[in-house]
Structure 1
Amino acid sequence: MKENSLRLDFYDYDLPKGRIAKHPLAKRDQSKLLVYQAGTVEDRHFYDLPMLLPDNSCLCFNNTQVIPARLFFRKPATEQGAGALIEILLLHPLEPSSVMSEAMSTQHSVTWECMVGNLKKWKSAQVLVQKLIIADQEVTLEAELIDSNQKLVRLNWNAGISFAEVVGAAGKVPLPPYLNRKNTAEDRQRYQTVYAQNPGAVAAPTAGLHFTDQVLNQLMQRGINFNELTLHVGAGTFQPIKENDIKQHNMHAEQMVVTRENVEKLLNAEQTIVAVGTTSMRTLESLYWYGVKLSKEPSADFQISKLYPYEDDTPKQLSLADSLQNILNRIDRLKTDTLVGETEIFIFPGYQFRLCQGLITNFHLPKSTLILLIAAFVGEDWRKIYQHALGNEYRFLSYGDSSLLLRR
C-alpha cells in the first residue's frame, strides 16, 4: 500500500458540474454501463447486463424503500408576518421502537432523531400543526421538538393509521443535496428502485435505479440468482469527509435486516456474488464480520463498528462458510428468521473483501466514502475507470450512469 493511500487528497478528481445528472433518463435501463474486468474497460448499456454477468452469479439487492422523509411545518403567523418555515428530515426512529419496520407501522405517535432546518426559530416543546387528507379523512399531524440539542422530534396524529401512511401523505422525497433543485412528482417514482419493499431509507440505493422489470426477467431467464437484503440508507451517506487522515472520519450507522434465507443463499460457495450498490456491499461484508464476532462471543450484538475489520485482534483465518454458519447458529438460538442490526463499516483501500467478487454502482463524488470503497475494490484502477467515464460523456451521481466492476 502506498504511503499516501490513506490520505483523502489521493482520492480527488475534477468533476465538472455539467456532468452531474440532475434528472433521470426517460427509460431506466437506457443508461450507459461501464464494464471493468481484469484491467480493461468497455462501454455498454445497462440493458446489456444479463449477458455480461459471469455464469452462476448471485445478484444481491438492497430492497429498502425510500420514504418521503422531508416534512415541512409553518409556524403560526404573527403581527410581523408569516411564521417561519420549519423543515424536518427524518433520520432514525427511537420510540416506540428503533426497528424501522416497527416504527413505520406504528399508529398515533413516534419519536425520531432528525435534521431540522430553521432550528433556532423552533422552541422546545412548541407544537407545530399540519392538516392532511388521507383516505378521505382529515388527519391532524403535530410535531413537537422535545430535545433541541439531540434534535429529537415527536410526531403525533389523531387517526388510526400507520406512520408510513402519514409520512406518505405529508412528506417530500429527500433528494441528494448535490442535485440542487426542488423535487418533482417524477422523483417520487424514479428515486426508487422497482423492487423496493421495506420502507425506511432517506436516500435511494441508486445502483438499483437502472433495473427494469424486463432486465430482471432476462436475468432470471439467464439463471442468475437473486438475494434481497435490506440496509436502510441514511443521510450520513452524503456526509463529506473533512479529515485528510480518512480513518478519522466519523462513519454513520445504518440499520440492516438479514434473514435466514439470505444467509443460506450466501453459503453456496460456487457462486459469484455481485453486490448491487455500495449499500448491498456494506451489508454483505458486515455479515462476515458479524460471524467473526460470534466466533469470539456467541451472543454478540449485531453491530459492526467502522474499523472492526482492521483491528489487530480480529481472527485472520475464519472462512466465509464458518462465519456464515455462526450467524445461522445465532438465528437458531434466538428462534427467529430475521436479524436486525447496525453497521458503520468503513471500507477503504487495504480492506480484504470476504464475499463480493463484483459490484454494480454509479459514479461517486470525489473525496467521498464511496470513492474510497471503489478504490478498495479495484485498486488504483479506479482512476482509469473514472478518467474513462469523464472522457466518454458518462453521467455522474444518483441519476447518472452505471458501472459493472468485476474482480475476476
Structure 2
Amino acid sequence: MPSFDSLLKSYDYELPQKLIAQHPAIKRDQSRMLLLERQNGQISHRNFAEIVSLLPNSSCLVINNTKVLSVRLPGKRRTGAVIEALLVEEKSEGLWRAIVRKAGRIKTGELLEFCGGNLRAVAQKRLEEGEWLLSFDEAELLKDRLEKFGLPPLPPYIERRQANDLQNAEDRERYQTCFASEPGAIAAPTAGLHFTPEILTEISKHGIDILEVTLHVGLGTFSSIEVEDIRQHKMHAEFFSVSTQTLEQLKKFWKNKKKIICIGTTSVRVLETLAQKNFKVRSGWTDIFIHEPYEFMMMDGLLTNFHLPKSTLMILVSAFCGRDFLLSAYRQAVDHNYRFFSYGDCMLIL
C-alpha cells in the first residue's frame, strides 16, 4: 500500500451537484452498489440486493441499531422572525445544546416557539457562534413531542425548505433504518438504509450471523475537518453500547478469526473501540478517529455509502482499502452516475 498522506486536500474529489441524491431509491434495496475487492484491486458494478450472495460464508454482519431523533425544529421568535433549531446534545432532561439558524438577535431568557407552537423553549444561554442552550417546557414529554412534531435532521445538502407534510412523512420513514430501535442519533447510519427485513432474513438463511451494536451518531461523525494535517483533527465523542451477549459473541468471533463485515463506519468505530479496550467495556464514549496507517482488528469487510470529500468518513474508508483505490472507485462512481451521500448508492469493500 502507498505511503500515508496526511494532507486533507489529498482526500478531495470532484462531484457534480446533480449526483447528490435528494431522495432515496424508490425501494430501499434497489440502490446500486460498487464492489471493491482489495485483494485483486478489482472494481465491479452491482446492485445492493446482490449482497446476499457476495458476503463470505459463515461471516458475521454488524449493524448499528441507533434510532434517529426528529430534532430539526422550524420555529419563530415572538417578533415573528423565522428560526430553525437542530438539537445536537441532550445535557439533561429537557435541556439541549442546539445549533440555531438566524439566531443573531435572540436574547437570553427569550421564549421561542417551534413546530407551530407545539414545542416551546427558553433560550437559556448563548454558547459558541450560532449555538444556544435551550430549556424546553414539560421536559418529561419532550421525546414524545419530538417524535410527533419534529422533523428528521436531514443533512444540509438535501434540500427540504419547502417540504410538505407528505415529503416530511416520507423522510421520517426513509431516513431511518428498518432495524432502528435505540433512540439517540441526530443523523442516520446511512449504510443501513439499504436493508429491508426480507434482505436480512435472506442473509440469516445463508448462515450469516447478524449482531447489533449502538452508536448514537452525533457531531463527531459529520463535523468537518478544519486542519490541513488530518492527524491534528479531534473528534467529538459519541455514545456507544453493546449488550453483554453481543460482546461475548464478538470476542469469540475475533478469537476464531471469523470474518466480520461492518455495515457503516459507525459500526466500525464501535468494534475498533471495543478491541482497543480489550473488550473490557461494553458502553461509554468514543472519539476514535481512524486514518492511515491503521491496522484494523475487527473488520474484514465494509458496506458504506459514498461520503463527502475531505470527511472523517472518507478518511476511515481510505484506511481500510487505500486512498488511491478508493479515489479510483469514486471516479468510476461519478463516471457511471452513481448517487452520492446519505440517500445515495453504496459500496461493498471485501
TM-score by length of 1: 0.78
Determine the structure 2 residue equivalent to 1:312.
none
- Measured in 1, the distance between the counterparts of 2:196 and 2:333 equals 23
Q: What is the aligned residue count?
A: 336
- Measured in 1, the distance between the counterparts of 2:31 and 2:335 equals 16
Determine the structure 2 residue equivalent to 1:154.
135
* Structure 1 SS opposite 2:157: helix
Q: 1:167 to 1:384 in 2, by over 3 A?
A: same
Identical-pair percentage: 42
Aligned residue type for 2:314: I
Q: Does 1:283 align with 2:261?
A: no
- 8 Å CA contact 1:70, 1:171 repeated in 2: yes
- Measured in 2, the distance between the counterparts of 1:381 and 1:4 equals 13
Determine the structure 2 residue equivalent to 1:120.
104
* Structure 2 SS opposite 1:373: helix
Aligned equivalent of 1:46, options 23, 48, 69: 48
Q: 1:206 to 1:130 in 2, by over 3 A?
A: closer
- 8 Å CA contact 1:236, 1:252 repeated in 2: yes
Q: 1:356 to 1:4 in 2, by over 3 A?
A: closer
- 8 Å CA contact 2:4, 2:292 repeated in 1: no
Q: RMSD in angstroms over aligned alpha carbons?
A: 1.9
Determine the structure 2 residue equivalent to 1:396.
340
Determine the structure 2 residue equivalent to 1:22.
22
Q: For residues 309-388 of structure 1, what are the structure 2 equivalents within 5 Å? A: 323-324=278-279, 326-327=280-281, 339-379=282-322, 380-388=324-332
Aligned residue type for 1:180: E
Aligned residue type for 2:144: E
- 8 Å CA contact 1:74, 1:84 repeated in 2: yes
Q: 1:130 to 1:383 in 2, by over 3 A?
A: closer
- Measured in 2, the distance between the counterparts of 1:129 and 1:76 equals 8
Q: Deviations over 1:135-169 (max 9, x none)?
A: xxxx96320111112521111228xx643211112
- 8 Å CA contact 2:64, 2:213 repeated in 1: yes
Determine the structure 2 residue equivalent to 1:70.
72
Determine the structure 2 residue equivalent to 1:330.
none
Aligned residue type for 2:53: M
Q: Deviations over 1:118-146 (max 9, x none)?
A: 222221111224587xxxxxx96320111
1:3 to partner: Cα distance: 6.4
> Structure 1: any 5+ residue segments left out of the alignment?
78-82, 97-109, 133-138, 292-322, 328-338
Q: 1:142 to 1:364 in 2, by over 3 A?
A: same
Determine the structure 2 residue equivalent to 1:11.
11
Q: For residues 174-185 of structure 1, what are the structure 2 equivalents within 5 Å? A: 174-182=153-161, 183=163, 184=167, 185=169
Determine the structure 2 residue equivalent to 1:95.
92
- 8 Å CA contact 2:73, 2:115 repeated in 1: no
- 8 Å CA contact 2:88, 2:218 repeated in 1: yes
Range with bigger deviation, 231-240 or 189-198? 231-240
Q: For residues 100-115 of structure 1, what are the structure 2 equivalents within 5 Å? A: 110-115=94-99
- Measured in 1, the distance between the counterparts of 2:113 and 2:310 equals 40
Determine the structure 1 residue equivalent to 2:201.
217
Range with bigger deviation, 236-245 or 395-404? 236-245
- 8 Å CA contact 2:75, 2:115 repeated in 1: no
1:170 to partner: Cα distance: 2.5
Aligned residue type for 2:7: R
- 8 Å CA contact 1:58, 1:271 repeated in 2: yes
- 8 Å CA contact 2:118, 2:149 repeated in 1: no
- 8 Å CA contact 2:4, 2:293 repeated in 1: no
Determine the structure 2 residue equivalent to 1:266.
250
Q: Does 1:144 align with 2:122?
A: yes
Q: Deviations over 1:37-90 (max 9, x none)?
A: 12111211111111100011111100011111012332224xxxxx21232211
Larger radius of gyration: 1
Determine the structure 2 residue equivalent to 1:85.
82
Aligned residue type for 1:73: G
Q: Does 1:242 align with 2:226?
A: yes
> Structure 2: any 5+ residue segments left out of the alignment?
none
